[in-house]
Structure 1
Amino acid sequence: MVVGKYIDNPLLINGHKSDLRLYVLVTSYDPLIIYLYEDGLVRFATVKYDNSGKNLWNPCMHLCNYSINKYHSDYIKGSDPDNDDQGHKWSLSAYLKHLKANNIDTGQLMQSIEDVIIKSIVSVEFPVNSACKMFVPHRNNCFELYGFDILVDSELKAWLIEVNLSPSLNVDTPVDLKIKSAMIRNKNNF
């Protein structure tokens, strides 16, 4: 069971709650080397957000997981990877472009997100590094890809929802294929 504070003031895009799936590559824990992939995915809840508390039962309003929202009758699956700000899954770059167009300081937002990522990795650095020293004979041949799920609130504060070890690289939409295949193909984007 996971217990966390419910963030009741999410940053809304067109009335919908969203979260970010960011890809983080750690190639070493000693010394600590962390890379954040330059793009990511933004997943939207299918139902417009209402913070009155009357709709707490509705997971398609409060959760942004694709695995939940894809079954909702109002879910829109984008069909063109070049129009990556359509439907209920966007690219991070399209999301940031949308925020900039609405006079939101995306540089400060990304710095806040990077801070959350670094603090999260640093918080497990000692036990992971200790385990690597004990069980991994050739540490320079190892890496881990993490999927960081981040919620941004209306004050532009980044909140860590969860960190996924070895996140799914399945592709169900054109924007998935665009982001994930480019990430795998080109290490220089980290």
Structure 2
Amino acid sequence: MSRNKTAGYKGPYGYQKRREGDGRSCVRYKCGLTNTIQDVLRQRPGWMEVKDDGEWDFNWCDVGWLRENFDHSYMEEHLTRKNLMVKNLKRYRKTLEREAGRIEASKCDFFPRTFELPSEYHLFVEEFKRSPGSTWIMKPVARSQGKGIFLFQKLKDIMDWKKDGSRSEEQRDETQVESYVAQRYIENPYLISGRKFDLRVYVLVTSYIPLKAWLYRDGFARFSSTRFSLTSIDDQYVHLTNVAVQKTAPDYDPEKGCKWQMQQLRRYLTARHGTETIEALFKDVDNIFVRSLQSVQKVIINDKHCFELYGYDILLDQDLKPWLIEVNASPSLTASSQEDYEMKCCLLEDTLHIVDMEGRLTGREKRVGGYDLMWNDGPVYREDVNLETLGSACFTANTHLGCVNDRKKQLRQLLKPFPGKKRI
């Protein structure tokens, strides 16, 4: 780690340092990745890439670099590791019930019944026996892209965890068994053309204390390539929507891909169910973002120079109830199509606008490009909203997920041009 006079930003893949008052306009950056973020950084006016051990102001790096250069307390994945996410949500729900009552606590009922194995195997068995024949899904707590995931309906399919639970602590240490979560499978997902899908939504957190979070208007729905059925629980192309899985399907068409842009999905749902119903749905999704962030607010290290870009995975059921499936600290920036590439480039450009290494913002903005400020130590409301008519059911108002993203027009009005550059 360079030792120049800097402050830092810890982002989705690493730790970035920011010069303070050295009088130079150039932003020196490093990037250890070769996907979309590298393209965005290279095209940013006034930014210059440095190599090897050169001094830098902004470093977009991988988790390995972080672990090598920083205290491990920075690496606690309180929200993005599957078992820790559920643990923190359960604790937060209990706190709400104790301090605010059951109605308030019920607003956290957006994640499926979940147990960590092998440590909670016996608790899981008790729950499993209450609803025989139901479907559960097993997920490794620390893997991604659908690796190691499988569905099951019988206890004999997970006997390895039962065996491990009967061993002594010393025996378990000698043969480390990978931790999994066993999660109640959503057996009634909302289907389009008979296929299951989930939502990938981007949330940028620039501060935890106080909590300040931005929601990006764009995102996408990821579809399975095979029609949904519970009679084929071993078919990953039916149940797993991860692009890394779906692109290996025999009938996968790389030209068509397996994604809808968020605007397309919102238009489809509105046409089928009406504006009022879908507005309520997206407010429920907003609630997931804010409650999940509040659940880890007191345990995540807060640094005024840090930000995190999260990729939320949300599943809808037939009743249009949204379920939180996973939160990703390193959402994939690899594009699966030209449309996907353009969306991710805009997302990353606007992320850099908010991080604001150039000092072009006032700090009072409610919108920057495709991002809308949804929480700033309390809910953020649109200027055109009458607060008296919102009612207690509305959690946030300044969110536009899946709405028109006229980011270029907005940025032209908001940002002063870079030195020596025309307005964008």
Structure 1 length as normaliser, TM-score? 0.86
SS of the equivalent of 1:125 reads coil
SS of the equivalent of 1:127 reads coil
Asked which structure has the greater RCO (Cα within 8 Å, sep 6+), the reply is 1
**Which of 128, 137, 153 is matched with 2:317 structurally?**
153
Residue in structure 2 matched with residue 141 of structure 1 by the alignment: 305
Report the alpha carbon displacement of residue 176 of structure 1 after superposing the two structures with TM.
1.6
Residues matched between the structures, number:
173
SS of the equivalent of 2:334 reads coil
Instruction: Check if 1:108 corresponds to 2:242.
Output: no
Distance 2:253 2:318 in 1: 24
Residue in structure 2 matched with residue 26 of structure 1 by the alignment: 205
Identity %: 38
**Aligned AA (2:272):** N
Report the alpha carbon displacement of residue 108 of structure 1 after superposing the two structures with TM.
1.2
Distance 1:78 1:109 in 2: 31
Report the alpha carbon displacement of residue 41 of structure 1 after superposing the two structures with TM.
1.4
Instruction: Check if 1:60 corresponds to 2:230.
Output: no
Rate the CA distance shift 1:145–1:62 in 2: closer, same or farther, 3 A. same
Instruction: Check if 1:73 corresponds to 2:244.
Output: no
Instruction: Check if 1:117 corresponds to 2:289.
Output: yes
Residue in structure 1 matched with residue 359 of structure 2 by the alignment: none
C-alpha contact 1:78 1:175 (8 A) present in aligned 2: no
**Which of 215, 230, 237 is matched with 1:36 structurally?**
215
SS of the equivalent of 1:25 reads strand
Distance 2:318 2:218 in 1: 22
Distance 1:157 1:78 in 2: 31
- In structure 2, list runs of 5 or more residues that go unmatched: 1-179, 354-367, 372-424
Residue in structure 1 matched with residue 338 of structure 2 by the alignment: 174
**Which of 237, 252, 268 is matched with 1:98 structurally?**
268
Distance 2:197 2:298 in 1: 32
Give the aligned CA root-mean-square deviation in angstroms: 1.4
SS of the equivalent of 1:140 reads coil
Q: Which moved more, 1:67-76 or 1:38-47?
A: 67-76
What are the superposed Cα offsets for residues 149-168 of structure 1, whole Å, 9 maximum, x if unpaired?
Answer: 00011101110110001212
Report the alpha carbon displacement of residue 75 of structure 1 after superposing the two structures with TM.
2.0
Distance 1:18 1:157 in 2: 14
C-alpha contact 1:77 1:89 (8 A) present in aligned 2: no
**Aligned AA (1:100):** T
Rate the CA distance shift 1:174–1:106 in 2: closer, same or farther, 3 A. farther
Distance 2:219 2:234 in 1: 29
**Aligned AA (1:63):** L
Report the alpha carbon displacement of residue 178 of structure 1 after superposing the two structures with TM.
2.5
Instruction: Check if 1:3 corresponds to 2:182.
Output: yes
**Aligned AA (2:252):** Y
- In structure 1, list runs of 5 or more residues that go unmatched: 80-86, 133-138
**Aligned AA (2:191):** L
Structure 2 length as normaliser, TM-score? 0.40
Report the alpha carbon displacement of residue 76 of structure 1 after superposing the two structures with TM.
3.0
Residue in structure 2 matched with residue 13 of structure 1 by the alignment: 192
SS of the equivalent of 1:179 reads helix
SS of the equivalent of 1:8 reads coil
Report the alpha carbon displacement of residue 111 of structure 1 after superposing the two structures with TM.
0.7
What are the superposed Cα offsets for residues 26-51 of structure 1, whole Å, 9 maximum, x if unpaired?
Answer: 0001110111111101100110011x
**Aligned AA (1:66):** V
Residue in structure 1 matched with residue 384 of structure 2 by the alignment: none
Rate the CA distance shift 1:155–1:96 in 2: closer, same or farther, 3 A. same
Report the alpha carbon displacement of residue 78 of structure 1 after superposing the two structures with TM.
4.2
SS of the equivalent of 2:203 reads strand
**Aligned AA (1:148):** Y
**Aligned AA (1:153):** D
Distance 2:253 2:320 in 1: 26
Distance 2:192 2:254 in 1: 17
